[in-house]
Amino acid sequence: MGNKQVLIDKAEAGFYKTYNRFPVVFDHGEGVYLYDTEGQEYLDFGAGIAVMALGYNDPEFNGALKAQVDKLLHTSNLFYNEPAVEAGEKLLKASAMDRVFFTNSGTEAIEGALKIAKKYAYNKEGTHDHEIIAMNHSFHGRSLGALSVTGNDHYQEPFKPLIPGIKFADFNDLDSVKALVNPKTCAIIMETVQGEGGIYPATEEFLKGVKDLCDEHDILLILDEIQCGMGRTGTMFAWQKYGVKPDVMTVAKALGNGVPVGAFLASGKAATAMGPGDHGTTYGGNPFVTAAASKVLDIFEERNLTDHVKEVGEYLEQKLAELTDQYPAVTGRRGIGLIQGLEFSIPVSSIVSQALLEQKLVLISAGINVIRFVPPLVIAKKDVDEMIKRLKALLDQQS
Can you tell me whether residue 318 is helix, strand or coil? helix
Of 61, 64, 26, which Cα lies nearest the Cα of 378?
61
- For the chain, the farthest-separated pair of C-alpha atoms sits apart, in whole angstroms, at 63
- Three-class SS state of 3: coil
Q: What is the DSSP letter of 272?
A: G
C-alpha distances in Å from residue 285, one per residue of 32, 58, 100: 28, 22, 10
The DSSP annotation for 42-86 comes to EEESSHHHHT-TT-B--HHHHHHHHHHHTT-S---TTS--HHHHH
Query: Phi/psi zone of residue 8: left (φ > 0), alpha (ψ -120 to 50 degrees), beta?
Result: alpha
Chain Cα centroid distance, residue 297: 16
Q: Backbone phi, then psi, for 166, in 5-degree steps?
A: -105, 125
Question: Residue 15, Cβ neighbours under 10 Å: how many?
Answer: 10
Distance CA 216, CA 33 (A): 49
Residue pair 253/49 in contact (Cβ under 8 Å)? The answer is yes
Q: Which of 332, 352, 351, 331 is nearest to 340 (CA)?
A: 332
To which H or E segment does residue 224 belong? strand 220-224
**In degrees rounded to 5, what are phi and psi of residue 322?**
-60, -35
CA dihedral 252, 255, 260, 263 (to 10 degrees): -50
| Coil vs helix vs strand at 34 | strand
Catalytic residues: 139, 224, 253
For residue 262, list its beta bridge partners: 103
